């Protein structure tokens, strides 16, 4: 098929949404000819990727939109990025129409950014339109606001208002109603999408994060080498915001320490909540047990996961969780909150899902889980192996590829209202 892809974030050298976009393009290019509309900010990296032979021959990039770097404030920078995405979404329809005149696409597919709150206009091309996987309808529990820093609490309030307003956006409602198929990455988003789409038909679940065979092999090597001796080693990574539940984890570790657990918790992360968590760790007497470090990558990252027993990050609002899934591939036991993407990724067989209740109860549940794993190390080996199998089986590139191709075949030839 000839497919028009919308992926503002698509860069082989970056992580997060950019990795999602690039991985999707590489996967889809195995079966289809792609025209990828992406941001002009990726020009230099895409040219480098071209010279290094990373770009498939049947992929063409169309660079759209304007951008500016913003370094003064992380949160203001995020707002600027959001505005850039809104402007990009408005700009791609005329580009898509012009390309469609000559290329006669079989369908259009929005890949990134993976949120429902901003509509894609590509459904107006009059060809089948696939939206997602998308997330973003996870809500931070109001009763857990006390764990947040003041700035994080303010951000969550603004996001709640944005989610409420977006449900009534004419462009969002039209996009959802006219999409041929919508992939939702978690149950919270799926339930909203079905209401906006007007039917459960044409809506299904798919995670935006998946792993090609070579990446699976690189991480699962660590699972085969795992040992469960010595002080308990815990890890968290990624971009740390208040919503990630780092404060809950640190409070729980303080209680586990009081029960005799010896451990080291490594937070190899950046993000606006780091300073708040560092002060909290010192206040709770965990200055020696909790190590704050810069994000790791490559072999150093995989080696760290190979030496880790538990991935501890009870995120309270998360669509997917690439770092969580990489840790599981490496054989770490995941301890997460039972909500959003992590609540779907983790099962009772391979990890622990802590019910979302109140601060005190969740901290106790987390602490008790850590104590159990410390006192019975066989559980770490058993659940770690199960965690690696879970990601290998259900979040592989082949699963993603087969799922999308099945949907493409089912919607091919549908006529949509332009």
Q: What is the pLDDT of residue 70?
A: 54
Q: What is the pLDDT of residue 288?
A: 94
Percent of the chain with pLDDT over 70: 95
CA atoms of 321 and 137, how far apart (whole Å): 15
Provide the pLDDT confidence category of residue 321 given band limits of 50, 70 and 90.
confident
Token pair recorded at residue 391: 């990601």
Contacts of 197 (CB under 8 A, 6+ apart): 176, 177, 179, 182, 203
pLDDT tens for each residue of 340-360: 889 999 999 999 999 999 999
Provide the pLDDT confidence category of residue 229 given band limits of 50, 70 and 90.
confident
Q: What is the pLDDT of residue 67?
A: 67
Ramachandran quadrant class, 230 (left: phi over 0; alpha: psi -120 to 50; beta: rest): left
Q: Count CB neighbours of 38 within 10 A.
A: 28
pLDDT tens for each residue of 249-287: 999 999 999 999 999 999 998 888 899 999 999 999 999
Q: Is the pLDDT of residue 228 over 90?
A: no
* Cα-based torsion angle of the residue sequence 148, 149, 154, 155 in order, rounded to the nearest 10 degrees: -80
Q: Is the pLDDT of residue 4 over 60?
A: yes
Provide the pLDDT confidence category of residue 417 given band limits of 50, 70 and 90.
low
Q: Is the pLDDT of residue 390 over 90?
A: yes
pLDDT tens for each residue of 140-191: 999 999 888 888 888 899 889 988 999 999 999 999 999 999 999 999 999 9
Q: Are 264 and 296 in contact (CB under 8 A)?
A: no
Provide the pLDDT confidence category of residue 111 given band limits of 50, 70 and 90.
very high
- For the entire predicted model, the pTM comes to 0.89
Q: What is the pLDDT of residue 16?
A: 80
pLDDT tens for each residue of 202-227: 999 999 999 999 999 999 987 777 78
Q: Is the pLDDT of residue 297 over 80?
A: yes
pLDDT tens for each residue of 38-47: 999 999 999 9
Q: What is the pLDDT of residue 393?
A: 92
Beta bridge partners of 235: 266, 311
Average pLDDT, the chain: 92
Q: Is the pLDDT of residue 306 over 60?
A: yes
Cβ contacts of 238-241, under 8 Å, gap ≥ 24: 238/269, 238/271, 238/295, 238/313, 238/321, 238/322, 238/323, 239/16, 239/269, 239/270, 239/271, 240/267, 240/269, 240/270, 240/271, 240/272, 240/273, 240/274, 240/277, 241/152, 241/155, 241/271, 241/272, 241/273
pLDDT tens for each residue of 60-105: 999 998 766 655 555 555 667 777 888 898 899 999 999 999 999 9
């Amino acid at each position: 098929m000839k497919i028009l892809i919308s992926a503002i974030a698509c860069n082989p050298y970056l992580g997060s949404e950019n990795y999602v976009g690039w991985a999707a393009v590489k996967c889809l290019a195995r079966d289809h000819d792609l025209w990828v509309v992406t941001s002009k900010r990726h020009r230099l990296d895409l040219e480098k990727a071209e010279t290094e032979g990373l770009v498939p021959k049947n992929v063409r990039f169309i660079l759209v939109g304007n951008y500016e770097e913003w370094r003064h404030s992380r949160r203001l920078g995020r707002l600027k990025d959001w505005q850039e995405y809104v402007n990009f979404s408005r700009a791609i329809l005329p580009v898509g129409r012009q390309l469609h005149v000559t290329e006669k696409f079989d369908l259009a597919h929005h890949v990134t950014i993976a949120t429902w709150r901003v509509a894609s206009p590509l459904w107006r091309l009059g060809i089948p339109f696939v939206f997602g996987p998308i997330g973003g309808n996870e809500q931070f529990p109001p009763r857990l606001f006390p764990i947040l820093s003041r700035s994080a609490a303010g951000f969550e309030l603004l996001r709640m208002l944005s989610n409420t307003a977006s449900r009534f956006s004419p462009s969002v409602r039209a996009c959802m109603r006219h999409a041929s198929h919508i992939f939702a990455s978690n149950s919270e988003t799926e339930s909203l999408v079905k209401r906006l789409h007007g039917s459960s038909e044409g809506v299904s679940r798919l995670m935006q994060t998946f792993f090609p065979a070579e990446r699976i092999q690189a991480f699962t090597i660590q699972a085969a080498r795992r040992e469960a001796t010595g002080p308990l080693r815990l890890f968290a990574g990624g971009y740390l915001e208040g919503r990630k539940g780092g404060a809950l984890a640190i409070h729980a570790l303080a209680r586990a320490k009081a029960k005799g657990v010896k451990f080291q918790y490594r937070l190899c992360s950046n993000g606006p909540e780091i300073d708040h968590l560092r002060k909290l760790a010192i206040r709770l007497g965990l200055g020696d047990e909790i190590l704050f470090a810069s994000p790791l990558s490559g072999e150093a990252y995989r080696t760290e996961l190979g030496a880790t027993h538990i991935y501890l990050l009870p995120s309270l609002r998360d669509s997917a969780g690439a770092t969580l899934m990489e840790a599981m591939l490496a054989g770490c036991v995941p301890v997460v909150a039972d909500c959003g993407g992590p609540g779907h990724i983790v099962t009772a067989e391979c990890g622990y899902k802590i019910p979302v209740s109140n601060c005190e109860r969740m901290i106790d549940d987390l602490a008790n889980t850590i104590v159990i794993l410390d006192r019975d190390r066989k559980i770490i080996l058993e659940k770690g192996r199960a965690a690696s199998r879970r990601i290998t089986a259900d979040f592989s590139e082949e699963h993603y590829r087969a799922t999308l191709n099945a949907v493409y075949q089912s919607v091919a030839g549908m006529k949509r209202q332009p």
